[in-house]
Amino acid sequence: MTTIIALEGIRKEFRLGTTTIAALRGIDLELKKGRYYSIMGPSGSGKSSLLHVLGCMDTPTKGKVWLNGRQVHILNQRQRTRIRAEEIGFVFQAFHLNPILTAMENVAITLRFMGESKRSAQKKAKYWLQRVGLGARSSHRPSALSGGERQRVAIARAIAKNPSVILADEPTGNLDSKTGMDIIDILRDINQKEGTTIIQVTHDPEVANRSDSICTLRDGLIIDGTH
């Protein structure tokens, strides 16, 4: 199975006054294409820092990162921004939808930024909103949608650009348990039918157990590798 992301000796440090805080303290990790991963750990374990490194949102203090065989730790900010735009889809706990745009427009605008025509972007947005069960709600703004529906829009937005990886940061965190599992079912369906690699951060063991592999962090170290 092809490796899609590899980390070698990743350290991430932050300065707090005169103190240096190590959020990640030497992470080696190899993630395979087409699998569904969960990252777990208590608050302060380094989950968010790891996700930011995986998603090219942050560079490590030390160590190497490969995405699809390309060394991304040596890239500048503009190059990393392009990789995020073209190769990585993001799903957040807080949804991050534009409140003045409809569901259709929230999905299509990402594709327009990537250079797609208005017609093509709208066609893809319509398709993916239907795939996540929101075909009849595409003209609604976020304020008229439930939390679960807003998260479905966020998933449609993430997958519409055909990324190789979707990173989901506590995708069920703002949802009740049933709605949350419905969202995981959608992500699992995308993973299996599209072959998209999914990497999610979660504190919920039930959610994590739906994935193929679980990586547990504590104090910036992997204490239980993917399995």
Tally of helices (H runs) and strands (E runs) in the chain? 7, 10
**Which residues are CB-contacts of 193 (< 8 A; sequence separation ≥ 6)?**
none
Question: What would the DSSP string read from start to end of 62-112?
Answer: EEEEEETTEE-TT--HHHHHHHHHHHEEEEETT----TTS-HHHHHHHHHH
Note the pTM of the prediction, 2 decimals: 0.92
Inside any domain, residue 12: no
**Domain range holding 170?**
33-48+77-213+220-224
Is 16 domain-assigned?
no
Does 192 fall in a domain?
yes
Predicted confidence (pLDDT) per residue in 110-156, tens digit: 999 889 999 999 999 999 999 999 999 999 999 999 999 999 999 99
Note the pLDDT tens digit of each residue in 32-51.
Answer: 999 999 999 998 899 989 99
Q: What is the CATH number of the domain that holds 135?
A: 3.40.50.300
Q: What average pLDDT does the structure give for the chain?
A: 93
Rounded to an integer, the average pLDDT of 157-175 is 94
Q: What pLDDT does residue 1 have? A: 78
| 177 found inside a domain | yes
- Cα separation of 29 and 96, whole Å? 29
pLDDT recorded at residue 224: 81
Residue partners of 161: CB distance under 8 A and separation at least 6:
85, 86, 89, 110, 111, 114
pLDDT at 117: 95
Quick check: 148 and 179 in contact, CB under 8 A? yes
pLDDT at 18: 86
- Number of domains present in the structure of the chain: 1
Contacts of residue 79, defined as CB under 8 A and 6 or more positions apart, other chains included, come to none
pLDDT of 175-206, one tens digit each? 999 999 999 999 999 999 999 999 999 999 99
Distance CA 204, CA 142 (A): 26
pLDDT band at 227; cut points 50, 70, 90:
very low
Residue 151 lies in a domain: yes
